[in-house]
Structure 1
């Protein structure tokens, strides 16, 4: 009861802010919240110019860090708010006034356990960036054992941001549960699961060790790539609330004039960005989910340098295969196969019509692929697919929504630099190579053998667990006669006798295909 009262009080405060910005529409859709909406409108209603999404973005900015992050998360959920609102939320600026340098010093010294001057020989008190969760300062490290110093960037969490987030996320969970209870039709959109995913993502973003680890993982994935790199992390000056990394020297991708003055070929840069993004998604299954121009720099030698690994996405191997085959089917006009993949992946239920979904796929793809090559957008294709989810009772796939948003942002980078080219066409050799390696017959056999190998690896544990359960059942006197128990043990022995031959067969096939 206390929790409900606390959430209701916080909701009234939020509703008043939404009302001041004429942005109550997200709450108006929940019937149980109508009294809250009416009260907020009565005391704070204003007429504000602009689109609904712009009003909502302004309200979220006033509500602070948690709601700025929530707005960014909702910008990939056109299925919840509509395409126009989602697009406006995508423009939400994650920027707030900087907090005082005294707080920065306190955070660094408390987290790292040493005076600031012991860690850094120079530290710029003015932050170069101040966002909702953290701000960044440039600094120079104190000399190491060999007398060398390094230019670094130091990211520091905002004071009190964790407590503010915990208070607001409790309300978000409450609203998600309320929506599912009051409006069962929303369950298809998984509001409770979405709230949990949002909490998990921001909790990880507020522990800067996770961001540092993500940067290191991407750096390892691209260790042999001379076209893309990640700044090196200084782990001795990194903790939960402070992260120190190599300072990046280069031209921001957003600075077209600067890139041109430095002599960089825009088509070459777009190729490098698209190749890096494709490798992250399809080769590694671990991708930068916020690859906007402000997070990309171009070094003097043309190397792409990415920063800000707080928001990352993962796509498992099976989903990558489904996604790759689906895109290939769309590109070749095989809409029937594109529809079948949705059923095979479990994205559309078996009670739906494959023929009807094939028709929907054609209606989505043909207007997109009928455009000039430079205007073809794979991200727009995925976005249109998600728009038909309600018709076919298609369950929301959060990992694909994040991927679609990331592709849209990356395509925006390409269109900014080279509006007359299609970034996926530039990456076509890489895409075709990946598809040949991962979607061909030989790849299918290898995948099948991998699954079989994993199953074989698990069998001893499964059998041991089964025997343990059998023993417990017998000890507790459950009706299981001696003949049945003997047969179960006999089957186990028989299987273990055959198991070596299964392993030999698997090994022989693997050697043949390698």
Structure 2
């Protein structure tokens, strides 16, 4: 019954898009190939009254809002890419970030009291109406008993059930795409859907968001590119989150970029560097950096909120990311190609030299040109075509990273249309390369790998053997192994010291 219900909701979603003329909008008819144009004309016969109201972006925003939280998340991503879809289109989608229809304040009060298990008056002097409403929750301004101004986030009533239904529908859509669209299979639609679903499920427990905000607050403080409001732990439960009020103006407010003394270029640089420093240096990053979650203040201060989605990278992924970025910065396409092969992103049967040549064809045209002169949609199309030629599959563990990089670049260019992403990334990437790929760092990593291998082998030898005949071998080798482990550690420590580590 679950699959049948999901299929019904999927068909219903398509009908909503068709009735609003948001699936294949009439304004783009001249750009469609003949076959697509015929389909668009046929679908337009089922359009409703909404198909004539507003621009394509407005119609799509209305449709996505009706379709629910997962669809709204997609709209939020699209609304960061003015360089691809145009300023008018993304402005029409901007309301999906934090300007959705709120639920009543009295209902929010009941939800908060139930979640915290105490009356509002025991924590707040005042509690106001909603100041922002998003797909999963809404925020209220309040004042604590000690006088601090805070933001109180509360989940929408019934949102858990709605997300579960949307997740079933998304999973079904991914299975259908993977089954019927051979070109889309390399994008791993089922793995992508699973990643999105898991991330959304985690957003439904605000205790996890509070912990993420606290962790990333510590991380951000080390670099200073970005900050986060402090968590008020007395006001945290599964359905409620209380944090100190974010300084500055939300980027969704047109006045945000018109503040006296604001340095747009520095703000855009700080945004890019904050994200890269989090991902590369610490392996944990804010994975929902759209304008609705960013506040700015002069001259270039950025405060991030809403830590419902946090991305994490292991040491190997961090190294591959840094080497790929560094290779593009240095225009060393062979190095970038080798890293793709070492990481397993491209099948080993392909040619490294041919892949490097393809990367050069994409990378060279963007260097030395202003950001506004680079067609990002054309660049993305070329990348898609090239990776398809080399059978490169989407890496599920990097989905959030790729999505966040796309969002950050889009927001940075809305802040500063001439922003140079590569120049902004350069100091953070070079710092990481200098620290992590120096001789002492390489020796330290070799020591860690060797110690890990010997430790696992020692544990294996200490485990009771399946055959009694192996007991004598185990008792003989184990002491030698522990001696080798200590000697290896001492030797590598000496090497690190000799190299200047």
The TM tier, using the shorter chain, reads 0.7 to 0.9
The offset of 1:373, in angstroms, is 7.2
Query: What is the aligned partner in structure 2 of residue 332 from structure 1?
Result: 330
The offset of 1:390, in angstroms, is 1.9
Alignment check: 8 A CA contact 2:347 2:392 kept: yes
Alignment check: 8 A CA contact 1:383 1:404 kept: no
Distance in 2 separating the partners of 1:101 and 1:295: 22
Distance in 2 separating the partners of 1:463 and 1:239: 46
Q: Greater relative contact order: 1 or 2 (C-alpha under 8 angstroms, separation 6 or more)?
A: 2
Alignment check: 8 A CA contact 2:461 2:474 kept: no
Distance in 1 separating the partners of 2:85 and 2:315: 32
Query: What is the aligned partner in structure 2 of residue 138 from structure 1?
Result: 141
Task: Tell me: CA distance 1:389–1:367, structure 2 relative to 1, closer, same or farther (3 Å).
Answer: same
Query: What is the aligned partner in structure 1 of residue 5 from structure 2?
Result: 6
Task: Tell me: CA distance 1:170–1:51, structure 2 relative to 1, closer, same or farther (3 Å).
Answer: same
Query: For 1:435, which of 428, 433, 436 is the aligned residue?
Result: 433
Query: What is the aligned partner in structure 2 of residue 112 from structure 1?
Result: 116
Query: For 1:207, which of 201, 205, 215 is the aligned residue?
Result: 205
In the alignment, does 2:406 pair up with 1:402?
A: no
The offset of 1:149, in angstroms, is 2.7
Alignment check: 8 A CA contact 2:262 2:297 kept: no
Q: Deviations over 1:353-397 (max 9, x none)?
A: 222212210111011124247867999978854553322111102
The offset of 1:97, in angstroms, is 0.7
Distance in 2 separating the partners of 1:360 and 1:399: 24
Task: Tell me: CA distance 1:424–1:352, structure 2 relative to 1, closer, same or farther (3 Å).
Answer: closer
Q: Following superposition of structure 1 onto structure 2, how do residues 407-486 of structure 1 map, counting pairs within 5 Å?
A: 407-426=405-424, 428-465=426-463, 467=464, 470=466, 485-486=468-469
Distance in 2 separating the partners of 1:69 and 1:12: 19
Q: Deviations over 1:172-231 (max 9, x none)?
A: 223333443455664322222122111101011111111111111111113344553210
- Residue aligned with 2:106, SS: helix
Query: What is the aligned partner in structure 2 of residue 482 from structure 1?
Result: none
Q: Following superposition of structure 1 onto structure 2, how do residues 206-245 of structure 1 map, counting pairs within 5 Å?
A: 206-245=204-243
The offset of 1:3, in angstroms, is 3.2
Q: Following superposition of structure 1 onto structure 2, how do residues 56-455 of structure 1 map, counting pairs within 5 Å?
A: 57-72=61-76, 91=93, 93-94=96-97, 95-124=99-128, 126-142=129-145, 148-183=146-181, 186-253=184-251, 261-299=259-297, 303-372=301-370, 385-426=383-424, 428-455=426-453
The offset of 1:511, in angstroms, is 4.4
Alignment check: 8 A CA contact 1:176 1:191 kept: yes
Alignment check: 8 A CA contact 1:369 1:376 kept: no
Alignment check: 8 A CA contact 1:252 1:296 kept: yes
Distance in 1 separating the partners of 2:399 and 2:381: 8
The offset of 1:423, in angstroms, is 4.8
The offset of 1:251, in angstroms, is 3.3
Query: What is the aligned partner in structure 2 of residue 481 from structure 1?
Result: none
The offset of 1:156, in angstroms, is 0.5
The offset of 1:107, in angstroms, is 0.6
TM-score between the two structures when normalised by the length of structure 1: 0.81
The offset of 1:326, in angstroms, is 1.6
Q: Bigger shift: 403-412 or 240-249?
A: 403-412
Distance in 2 separating the partners of 1:101 and 1:53: 30
Task: Tell me: CA distance 1:299–1:501, structure 2 relative to 1, closer, same or farther (3 Å).
Answer: same
Q: Bigger shift: 323-332 or 485-494?
A: 485-494
Q: Deviations over 1:309-350 (max 9, x none)?
A: 122222222112112112222222221221111111100001
Query: What is the aligned partner in structure 2 of residue 20 from structure 1?
Result: 19
The offset of 1:75, in angstroms, is 8.6
Alignment check: 8 A CA contact 1:379 1:407 kept: no
Q: Bigger shift: 441-450 or 53-62?
A: 53-62
Query: What is the aligned partner in structure 1 of residue 480 from structure 2?
Result: 497
The offset of 1:111, in angstroms, is 0.3
Distance in 2 separating the partners of 1:55 and 1:260: 29
Alignment check: 8 A CA contact 1:379 1:404 kept: no
Task: Tell me: CA distance 1:207–1:436, structure 2 relative to 1, closer, same or farther (3 Å).
Answer: same
TM-score between the two structures when normalised by the length of structure 2: 0.83
Alignment check: 8 A CA contact 1:267 1:418 kept: yes
Alignment check: 8 A CA contact 2:21 2:44 kept: no
Say how many residue pairs are matched.
475
- Residue aligned with 1:324, SS: helix
Task: Tell me: CA distance 1:387–1:495, structure 2 relative to 1, closer, same or farther (3 Å).
Answer: farther
Task: Tell me: CA distance 1:89–1:414, structure 2 relative to 1, closer, same or farther (3 Å).
Answer: closer
What do you get for the CA RMSD once the two structures are aligned?
Answer: 3.6
Distance in 2 separating the partners of 1:503 and 1:374: 57
Query: What is the aligned partner in structure 2 of residue 476 from structure 1?
Result: none
Unpaired runs of 5+ residues, structure 2, are 25-38
Alignment check: 8 A CA contact 1:352 1:392 kept: yes
The offset of 1:490, in angstroms, is 0.4
Alignment check: 8 A CA contact 2:370 2:418 kept: no
Q: Deviations over 1:412-438 (max 9, x none)?
A: 444344444525424533432221112
The offset of 1:232, in angstroms, is 0.4
